Chain A
């Protein structure tokens, strides 16, 4: 699993990256009450807005940690947005992206580096 400084995580299997927000982000955000996932077929560049996650108080953009085409979105989140709080780094994923530039993943932090980044905040 790889991580961004904006608290997204990426897990790559073959050329498909599953994307979500980290446990730290989910905790900071508080109770998630609404999630807007991207449409399948949408093409994103690294850093583009990919999804929106809303807590009771605020809406936050989730940025694409990698470039590519959205091949699957987590439709379950529309009925159960609280999944993002319950299992942020598993069932609370937002989208699967077919990588157009796999090298982007290598430039992201690994878990050790991300934990170190968190402790520096």
Chain B
């Protein structure tokens, strides 16, 4: 047996011995904890710790999981009105973003395809704070800097780490250290002094659970990581479980369920296009997105419950009941909390009817799959205190 040992997909395109791989400020802590490190987005990252993906996934759903997501890009957009220039590139309403709030959006190309998905927040008076995908960050910053030229600047925050504390006990854990965390709701973001240092905390994440993302200076990261792990409700969780958690939450993953050919409407995220922006139509790719919002779609994202056989992984074909290939799986695997194989894929809209039956073709075998609603496992975002 070969494939799975050296390179569990979608991790491990590079080798861990690659000298170009970077380390997050928590690298030593991961290795000391017995993590299995893999190359991911140009970094050495923990794919799992000693408990393994299954237990780590379930722990996060029941208690609180602590993730190192320092490979992601953090930056400040500073200037006269950075939101105004930034809006040329993104579909969300950022001029209307209130202080203390965060909003999800996609960075678009001229064809309405997704260059990256990102979070943008206004944690204080210091412009906008953005978090982008690790594998995309250099390209993102170059594109954003070009668009902001003369009006605002992109300042990369390379000296910061990012931790994610996720799960039903995350709020109780964090509130013990940061009392202000208790009064935050989903997508609130504040800059404050926490753990004795300057932190930017948002009540968000990418697991479907309630939780927080915590940006801290790199020099303080290991101390804060260990402080949180002292709480018996918290365990360190690797990227393997992060991927199965986000899949169950029905959250698309950039580079898999979204890329430069896929629009945010096809990807099932119309909320990424702000209402005021739809009316103005003043963003890249607006023509295509307006048509798609009006119902003119060639393909849409579909969530599939695999009813028989093996999990359908990325790249597996999707067929209709007659066996004709109509689409492809872009993310798939086993959902530990769901208790079975699940997948995200793309098919023409007439096949994306919830309750209907399709086939996923795994190693040449057509297996029955049912179109189901998103998310696969109910999300637990705290929208009201």
Residues in chain A within 8 A of chain B (CB atoms): 6-8, 21, 25, 28-31, 33-34, 36, 52-63
Identify which of B2, B240, B333, B341 contacts A60 (C-beta below 8 A): B2
B259 to chain A, nearest CB (A): 21
| Contacting residues, chain A, for B240 (C-beta < 8 A) | 30, 56-57
- Please report the C-alpha to C-alpha distance between residue A25 and residue B243 in the assembled complex, in whole angstroms: 22
Contact yes or no, A33 B1, CB < 8 A? no
Contact yes or no, B1 A61, CB < 8 A? yes
**A-B CB contact pairs (8 Å), 13 listed:** A6-B2, A28-B4, A28-B5, A29-B1, A29-B4, A31-B52, A52-B363, A54-B311, A55-B53, A56-B54, A57-B243, A57-B244, A58-B3
Q: Which residue of A lies closest to B12 (CB)?
A: A58
Most buried by B among A21, A54, A56: A56
Contact yes or no, B1 A6, CB < 8 A? yes
A1 to chain B, nearest CB (A): 16
Size class of the B contact interface (CB-based, 8 Å): 20 to 34
Identify which of A6, A21, A57, A63 contacts B333 (C-beta below 8 A): A57
| Contacting residues, chain A, for B363 (C-beta < 8 A) | 36, 52
**A21-B1, A34-B341, A54-B334 as given contacts; A59 in contact with B313, CB under 8 Å:** yes
Most buried by B among A28, A53, A58: A58
Contact yes or no, B3 A61, CB < 8 A? yes
- In the complex, whether B24 has a CB less than 8 A from a CB of chain A is no
**A56-B244, A57-B333 as given contacts; A30 in contact with B2, CB under 8 Å:** no
Contact yes or no, B5 A60, CB < 8 A? yes
Contact with A along B143-172 (1 / 0, CB 8 A): 000000000000000000000000000000
| Contacting residues, chain B, for A6 (C-beta < 8 A) | 1-2
Tally of contacts, chain A with chain B, CB under 8 A? 84
Identify which of A8, A36, A59, A63 contacts B4 (C-beta below 8 A): A59
| Contacting residues, chain B, for A28 (C-beta < 8 A) | 4-5
Contact yes or no, A33 B334, CB < 8 A? yes
- In the complex, whether B57 has a CB less than 8 A from a CB of chain A is yes
Contact yes or no, B243 A59, CB < 8 A? no
- In the complex, whether B269 has a CB less than 8 A from a CB of chain A is no
Identify which of A29, A31, A59, A63 contacts B311 (C-beta below 8 A): A59
- Please report the C-alpha to C-alpha distance between residue A29 and residue B11 in the assembled complex, in whole angstroms: 13
Identify which of A8, A30, A34, A57 contacts B1 (C-beta below 8 A): A8
| Contacting residues, chain A, for B9 (C-beta < 8 A) | 57-58
Contact yes or no, A34 B334, CB < 8 A? yes
Contact yes or no, B1 A56, CB < 8 A? no
Contact with A along B40-68 (1 / 0, CB 8 A): 00000001100011110100000000000
| Contacting residues, chain B, for A31 (C-beta < 8 A) | 52-55
Contact yes or no, B334 A25, CB < 8 A? no
Q: Which residue of A lies closest to B54 (CB)?
A: A31
A16 to chain B, nearest CB (A): 21
- In the complex, whether B34 has a CB less than 8 A from a CB of chain A is no
- In the complex, whether B310 has a CB less than 8 A from a CB of chain A is yes
**A54-B334, A55-B53, A57-B53 as given contacts; A33 in contact with B311, CB under 8 Å:** yes
Add 16 more A-B contacts to A53-B4, A54-B311, A58-B8 (CB < 8 A). A21-B1, A28-B4, A31-B52, A31-B53, A31-B54, A34-B310, A34-B311, A54-B310, A55-B53, A56-B54, A57-B243, A57-B244, A59-B3, A60-B1, A61-B2, A61-B3
Contact yes or no, B48 A30, CB < 8 A? yes
A38 to chain B, nearest CB (A): 12
| Contacting residues, chain A, for B244 (C-beta < 8 A) | 56-57
Contact yes or no, B310 A56, CB < 8 A? no
- In the complex, whether B208 has a CB less than 8 A from a CB of chain A is no
- In the complex, whether B336 has a CB less than 8 A from a CB of chain A is yes
- Please report the C-alpha to C-alpha distance between residue A75 and residue B244 in the assembled complex, in whole angstroms: 27
| Contacting residues, chain A, for B310 (C-beta < 8 A) | 34, 36, 52, 54, 59
